[in-house]
């Protein structure tokens, strides 16, 4: 026999009854096409565009959710994705540019071009993405 699962409507009703509200989600557009990889020779020319939460942690787009990295409290022996916490999405992350970048979105100084960089082992190459408006 399979364990019984709670229906989504029940969970949302239970959250509302307890006064808990889910974090603000972001608006997501159609899936982007394949990334255009680029060479970045001088990271000093890149200005991060990701907003920060009240604690100063960088906010990342993750589908319709927004997350921040949180310390795990244990030493990582090999590269592992950092633990994350879902937070309210700031309104500026509704811009379609964030659909193209789950990492850090950078604007090149003095240009309209933007670059997305992500962590990994090995990290994927930087890609050119639309800039937020």
Q: What does pTM read for this prediction?
A: 0.73
Residue 8 lies in a domain: no
Q: What are phi and psi of 43, to 5 degrees?
A: -70, -15
From the centroid of its chain, how far is CA 60? 2
Residue 7 lies in a domain: no
Q: How confident is the model at residue 8 (pLDDT cuts 50, 70, 90)?
A: very low
Q: Where are the alpha helices (DSSP H) in 1-133?
A: 8-18
Residue 101 lies in a domain: yes
Residue 108 lies in a domain: yes
Residue 107 lies in a domain: yes
Residue 10 lies in a domain: no
Per residue in 26-85, pLDDT tens? 878 777 778 788 888 788 889 999 999 999 999 999 999 999 999 877 766 566 778 899
Residue 83 lies in a domain: yes
Classify the phi-psi angles of 110: left when phi > 0, otherwise alpha if psi is within -120 to 50, otherwise beta: left
The residue range of the domain holding 58 is 27-129
Number of domains in the chain: 1
């Amino acid at each position: 026999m399979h364990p019984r699962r709670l229906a989504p409507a029940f969970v949302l009703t239970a959250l509302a009854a307890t006064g808990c509200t889910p974090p603000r989600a972001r608006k997501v557009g159609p899936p982007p096409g394949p990334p255009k990889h680029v060479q970045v020779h001088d990271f000093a020319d890149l200005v991060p565009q990701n907003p920060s939460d009240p604690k100063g942690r960088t906010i990342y787009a993750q589908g319709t959710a927004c997350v921040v990295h949180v310390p795990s409290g244990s030493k990582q022996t090999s590269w592992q994705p950092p633990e994350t916490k879902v937070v309210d999405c700031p309104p500026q992350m509704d811009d379609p540019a964030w659909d193209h970048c789950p990492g850090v979105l950078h604007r090149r100084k003095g240009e309209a071009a933007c670059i997305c960089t992500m962590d990994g082992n090995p990290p994927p190459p930087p890609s050119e993405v639309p800039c937020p408006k």
